[in-house]
């Protein structure tokens, strides 16, 4: 059976994904959907762990087949790779330290606000008037931002609702607010590999239509409404 190599980071971002185990396996929503789609395509998965900033270049240079790891479909990324139709759509959340009174974008004036460099989250952070933007990158970017909020290196961070909303129960943090940005996430494929992108799209369309993708969503993220039920015939993403 053909092996599909997929770039990812090794981080604890539950329920999206958990750290890679000793056998190289991953659990969480993204790995579960990847397994569902790969099975539909008749492929086996090999996860290839690398730094956040390495993933898109690795796909572009055909060192891996695709990146399936937290890739919101934004122009900066579409300039490097093509994307499939979405397998998820998320809003964005701002996280602050426990007890911080900020609850609106206006409250962030003068705050140091962290977000992943070049991300949809950073694009949202740029709309917060008066906020001091602090871009993060590197192999452990998510954990680094959480630590920076906790130790007051920054005052707030922006990331997707799926990973930050659950932290409302963490004694170190408060969820300040969520913005309904409805960011689509897709699988990034090399621009010179349209056949693979089309295979992904066909498999995604099938698992959306038969309800199996929705079941995986509900298993991992039962508090979030499944956003793709009415889009089975409308593939999206870069074709440039």
148-196 tens-digit pLDDT: 999 999 999 999 999 999 898 999 999 999 999 999 999 999 999 999 9
Q: What is the mean predicted confidence (pLDDT) over 44-71?
A: 96
**pLDDT at 238 (0 to 100):** 38
Q: What is the mean predicted confidence (pLDDT) over 53-80?
A: 96
**pLDDT at 236 (0 to 100):** 42
Q: What pLDDT band is residue 12 in, cutting at 50, 70 and 90?
A: confident
Q: What value does the mean pLDDT of the chain take?
A: 93
Topology of domain 3-87+186-220 in CATH is: D-Maltodextrin-Binding Protein; domain 2 (3.40.190)
CA gyration radius, the chain: 18
Q: Which helix (H) or strand (E) holds 149?
A: helix 141-150
**Bridge-based pairing state of the strands 156-160 and 88-97:** antiparallel
Alpha carbons 183 and 179: distance in angstroms, whole number: 10
Residue extents of the structural domains in the chain:
3-87+186-220, 91-181
**pLDDT at 234 (0 to 100):** 40
119-142 tens-digit pLDDT: 999 999 999 999 999 999 987 889
82-131 tens-digit pLDDT: 999 999 999 999 999 999 999 999 999 999 999 999 999 999 999 999 99
Per-residue H/E/C for the chain: CCEEEEEECCCCECCCECCCCCCCCCCCHHHHHHHHHHHHHCCEEEEEECCHHHHHHHHHCCCCCEECCCCECCHHHHCCCEECCCCEEEEEEEEEECCCCCCCHHHHCCCEEEEECCCHHHHHHCCCCCCEEEEECCCCHHHHHHHHHHCCCCCEEEEEHHHHHHHHHCCCEEEEEEEEEEEEECCEECCCCHHHHHHHHHHHHHHHHCCHHHHHHHHHCCCCCCCCCCCCCCCCCCCC
* Same-fold call for 3-87+186-220 versus 91-181: yes
**pLDDT at 23 (0 to 100):** 85
pTM: 0.85
36 with 30: CB under 8 angstroms? no
Q: What pLDDT band is residue 229 in, cutting at 50, 70 and 90?
A: confident
Topology of domain 91-181 in CATH is: D-Maltodextrin-Binding Protein; domain 2 (3.40.190)
């Amino acid at each position: 059976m053909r092996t599909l190599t997929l770039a990812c980071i090794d981080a604890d971002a539950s329920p999206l994904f958990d750290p890679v185990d000793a056998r190289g396996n991953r659990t969480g929503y993204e790995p579960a959907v990847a397994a569902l789609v790969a099975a539909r395509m008749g492929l086996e998965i090999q996860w290839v762990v690398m730094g956040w900033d390495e993933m898109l270049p690795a796909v572009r240079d055909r060192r891996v087949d695709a990146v399936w790891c937290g890739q919101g479909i934004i122009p900066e990324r579409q300039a490097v790779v093509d994307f499939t139709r979405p397998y998820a759509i998320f809003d964005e959340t701002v996280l602050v330290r426990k007890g911080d009174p900020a609850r609106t974008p206006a409250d962030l004036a003068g705050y140091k606000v962290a977000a992943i460099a070049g991300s949809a989250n950073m694009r949202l952070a740029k709309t917060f008037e008066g906020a001091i933007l602090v871009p993060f990158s590197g192999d452990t970017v998510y954990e680094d931002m959480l630590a920076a909020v906790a130790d007051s290196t920054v005052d707030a961070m922006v990331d997707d609702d799926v990973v930050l909303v659950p932290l409302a129960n963490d004694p170190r943090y408060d969820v300040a607010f969520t913005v309904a940005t409805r960011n689509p996430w897709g699988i990034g494929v090399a621009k010179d590999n349209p056949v693979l992108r089309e295979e992904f799209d066909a498999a995604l369309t099938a698992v959306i239509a038969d309800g199996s993708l929705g079941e995986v969503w509900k298993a991992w993220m039962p508090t979030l409404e499944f956003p793709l039920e009415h889009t089975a015939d409308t593939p999206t993403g870069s074709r440039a």
